[in-house]
Structure 1
Amino acid sequence: MLVDSHAHIDTSRFDSDRESTIQAAVNGGITRIVDPGCDLVSSQQALMLAKSHPGTIYAGVGVHPHDATTYTQEVEAQLREMAREPEVVAIGEFGLDYFRMLSPREVQRAVFCAHLQMARECNLPCIIHVRDSHDDVIELLHAHGQGLRGVFHCFSGDVAQAEECLSFEGFVLSFAGPLTKQGNALPEVARMAPLDRILVETDSPYLVPKPLKARRNEPLFVKHVAEKLAEIRGMSLEEIAQVTTANAARLFGLGETHETV
């Protein structure tokens, strides 16, 4: 019993086998999947998926920093309208990405703040993308994010950065495929993070976890992230599944814990 707290199964890479991929995850004990939008169209598609898979798929609505230049008042109005739907459980994914810089820094910052305001007004958690932008994210959260809740998705920083993120009381860290790989500080972060403030995700179709050699990630593979997290914490997979599922249900308002399928 696991929740994949971040999977882009609305993307075209699942067009040929989306339904069988979802069913494989459910059959494998992945009880719920959160699909965050990256722009207006993908937010709409995530919501349609959630409506067609009630109780299994939930949507986030937002604009990824790569697409920040597409964010307009009209887009914001449509995202706000979608956020009223019961299947929408978060605002996001949004954030700052200074690695690829596909949108200008100041545009990214302005759109980031607009999403924070939307999350506040809609009373929904945030799904935050951070890449090579930790200091600015923390700065803007201090200025505009007080009292909000959410997740730093696919956390990739070090212990000091994790501590800064966790200083925001309503926020949690989510671990993905990079936790299963060497050459980063994530094992140390996974050991220090409070158990009630961690999630697992795939970020499908990206970031295939080790030891898999698949070309595409999918929600079923969140088990490998959870197994690594359990190993690091000295816990069983069942214990980690119980903890992270409860955390996801609490953050996103997913209701009572489902029985393992």
Structure 2
Amino acid sequence: MNQPLIDIGVNLMHRSFQQDREQVVEKAAANGVTPLVITGTSLRSSQEAARYAGRYPDKLYATAGVHPHDAKSCDGETLAKLEALAALPQVVAIGECGLDYNRDFSPRDVQRKWFAEQVQLAVRLDMPLFLHEREAFPDFIGILKEQAVQKAVVHCFTGSSAELKAYLERGWHIGITGWICDERRGKHLKELVRMIPLDRLMLETDAPFLTPRDLKEKPADGRNEPAILPHILQTVARCVEKTVEEVAEVTTATARAFFGIGQG
């Protein structure tokens, strides 16, 4: 397959990539996965992601945001610092932000406050949102509707048919990860992915997490990598009954348009 893929969600600043970050990027490119979008999940990781992506123009991009798990660490300077990051050419979205009522690592009222603040920032800057939602759909979509969000991708979608329809009705995009390769938890996704128009679908690994369970040769350390994205592509293509080449071409074009990423 000659069509390159874009991994829209890589936690490349995660400590598990500390020793071989450059090799991971090179291996991904060798497997046709380039460019990569590095996920910012806290102010610190967003700063690190932007700094690292800046060293590799057209190969690496980054998001800038605070994940709900880290919302409790936000303060009066957080939004201004995110806005400064957003002005950098390699920063292409606000996020990962949202709500997570599954783990509640931050109090729910604190999650809602800082999610709404980041949504307002993205709307004001006319930037895409890179979103996270777990077991918080009513509050999550309520905040997004209140701000009349136009441009968003629901990262690592694992929700219900009703939730998917609500997102698609509002014109938002959907990110699919290796969760779809999990014969236990991802079975429903194999059906739901057919509902997503190809031009609203994007692919991601969420590496180093969510290593596809059905890999024939699993990484020795269990770590997921962007080089594994073609495996997720193959699963998605089978589910939507399209060729691998067609799904790769359309989802890559979609990601480029959504994030404003050039051809490199």
- TM-score normalized by the length of structure 1: 0.95
Letter in 2 for 1:151: V
1:216 equivalent to 2:217? Answer no
Shift of 1:141: 1.2
Alpha-carbon displacement from aligned partner over 1:21-64 (angstroms, at most 9, x marks no partner): 10000111012111121111100111011111110110100000
Gaps of 5+ in 2: none
Letter in 2 for 1:237: V
Q: 1:63 aligns with which of 63, 66, 83?
A: 66
Matches of 1:91 and 1:43 in 2, distance apart? 10
Q: 2:80 aligns with which of 61, 77, 80?
A: 77
Letter in 1 for 2:166: E
Q: 1:45 aligns with which of 22, 25, 48?
A: 48
Shift of 1:127: 0.4
Alpha-carbon displacement from aligned partner over 1:239-258 (angstroms, at most 9, x marks no partner): 111011011001100023x6
Aligned to 1:12: 15
1:120 equivalent to 2:127? Answer no
Letter in 1 for 2:118: H
Matches of 1:72 and 1:18 in 2, distance apart? 30
Q: Does the 8 A contact of 1:159 with 1:188 survive in 2?
A: no
Matches of 1:73 and 1:250 in 2, distance apart? 33
Aligned to 2:175: 174
1:236 equivalent to 2:243? Answer yes
Q: Residue 183 of structure 2: SS of its match in structure 1?
A: coil
**Matched residue count:** 255
Q: Identity across aligned pairs (percent)?
A: 39
Task: Map 1:130-149; keep pairs closer than 5 Å.
Answer: 130-144=133-147, 146-149=148-151
Q: Does the 8 A contact of 2:41 with 2:65 survive in 1?
A: yes
Matches of 1:78 and 1:147 in 2, distance apart? 22
Q: Does the 8 A contact of 2:58 with 2:262 survive in 1?
A: no
Matches of 1:207 and 1:218 in 2, distance apart? 10
Matches of 1:111 and 1:205 in 2, distance apart? 26
Aligned to 1:154: 156
Q: Residue 37 of structure 1: SS of its match in structure 2?
A: coil
Letter in 2 for 1:179: I
Shift of 1:211: 2.1
Letter in 2 for 1:40: L
Matches of 2:80 and 2:255 in 1, distance apart? 27
Matches of 1:122 and 1:35 in 2, distance apart? 20
Q: Residue 5 of structure 1: SS of its match in structure 2?
A: strand
Letter in 2 for 1:250: A
Q: Does the 8 A contact of 2:12 with 2:39 survive in 1?
A: no
Alpha-carbon displacement from aligned partner over 1:50-92 (angstroms, at most 9, x marks no partner): 1111101101000000000111121211111110001000000
Q: Does the 8 A contact of 1:210 with 1:224 survive in 2?
A: no
Aligned to 2:190: 187
Letter in 2 for 1:51: G
Q: 1:254 aligns with which of 257, 261, 264?
A: 261
Shift of 1:147: 4.0
1:204 equivalent to 2:207? Answer yes
Q: Residue 77 of structure 2: SS of its match in structure 1?
A: helix
Gaps of 5+ in 1: none
Letter in 1 for 2:25: I
Q: Residue 124 of structure 1: SS of its match in structure 2?
A: coil
